[in-house]
Amino acid sequence: MKAGNVETHNPSRRNFLRGNVGEKRRRPMRPPGAQPEFVRLCDGCGACARACPQGIIAGNASAGPEVRLDTRACTFCQDCARACPTGALAVMEQPGWDWRATVDATCLSMNGIACRACEDACDERAIRFRLMIGGRAAPGIDPDQCTGCGACAPVCPSGSIGFIVPEIVQEVRA
């Protein structure tokens, strides 16, 4: 998985003077069920990583656990949350999370090479390809269908799939 978990950069004066003008900070992908006070509650014990049957949770005591979807998908079994002794992860009524897949410009199909591996791997049918001029096809991800499970990431031969938490756009009515 590429460093596709990003959030907007901090445009502070300090970052400007350090030369961090256009860089983006990497947002850690915490396990499903991560509570808002996760950073404060998590003691880095590793119980969630040991409980994960997919082996996709990694981390250390100082950085805390992160989900790595470069080898396998998350099944949302919630074993990690059940194993958490501190309450940093909670078992959810509706398993899932806010992360959604994205595809960057290195996608083979967008560059004229026939590939639809991500579409084939997506059980939710959230990835669809739209034909373009020149024999290319552009992948589109339906954020309402995408669960962020990551089944598409390990099958992508170019590593073009990353994950983001989409901003919620609220409609203001007068």
What CATH number is attached to the domain comprising 47?
Answer: 3.30.70.20
Q: Residue 114: inside a domain, yes or no? A: yes
Answer whether residue 158 is part of any domain. yes
Residues whose CB falls within 8 Å of the CB of residue 75, separated by 6 or more in sequence, listed in order? 53, 54, 149
Q: How far apart are CA 89 and CA 142, in angstroms?
A: 27
The amino acid at residue 54 is Q
CB 100 within 8 A of CB 166: yes
Same structural domain, 30 and 92: yes
End-of-domain residue from the set 67, 96, 125: 96
Pair 107, 89 in one domain: no
pLDDT band at residue 173, thresholds of 50, 70 and 90?
very low
Domain count, the chain: 2
Residue 25 binned pLDDT confidence (cut-offs 50, 70, 90) = low
Same domain, yes or no: 92 and 105: no
The answer to pTM > 0.85 is no
50 pLDDT above the threshold of 70: yes
Q: How many Å apart are CA 36 and CA 3, to the nearest integer?
A: 22
Domain hosting 131: range is: 100-164
Residue-level length of the chain: 174
Answer with the one of 44, 67, 96 that is the final residue of a domain: 96
Q: What is the DSSP letter of 42?
A: -
Query: Highest mean pLDDT range out of 7-16, 71-80, 163-172?
Result: 71-80
Please report whether residue 12 resides in a domain: no
Q: For residues 148 and 96, is the Cβ–Cβ distance under 8 A?
A: yes
Q: Are residues 60 and 83 in the same domain?
A: yes
Same domain, 35 and 89: yes
Is residue 32 one of the residues assigned to a domain?
Answer: yes
Residue 82 resides in a domain: yes
Q: For the stretch 81-118, what's the b/e string if a residue is b when 16 or more beta carbons lie within 10 angstroms of its beta carbon? A: bebbeeebbeeeeeeebebbbbbeeebbbbeeeebebb
In this structure, the answer to whether residues 31 and 64 fall within a common structural domain is yes
Mean pLDDT of the chain: 85
User: In terms of domains, do 90 and 33 share one?
Assistant: yes
Contact call for residues 28 and 42 (beta carbons, < 8 A)? no
Does 90 lie in the same domain as 104? no
User: Which DSSP letter does residue 63 get?
Assistant: T
**Whether residue 92 sits in one domain with residue 107:** no
- Residue that terminates a domain, selected from 56, 77, 96: 96
Instruction: Assess if residue 4 is contained within a domain.
Output: no
DSSP-based helix, strand, coil % in the chain, nearest 5: 15, 20, 65
pLDDT at 3: 39
79 lies in some domain: yes
Nearest CA among 68, 29, 63 for reference residue 46: 63
| End-to-end Cα distance, the chain | 43
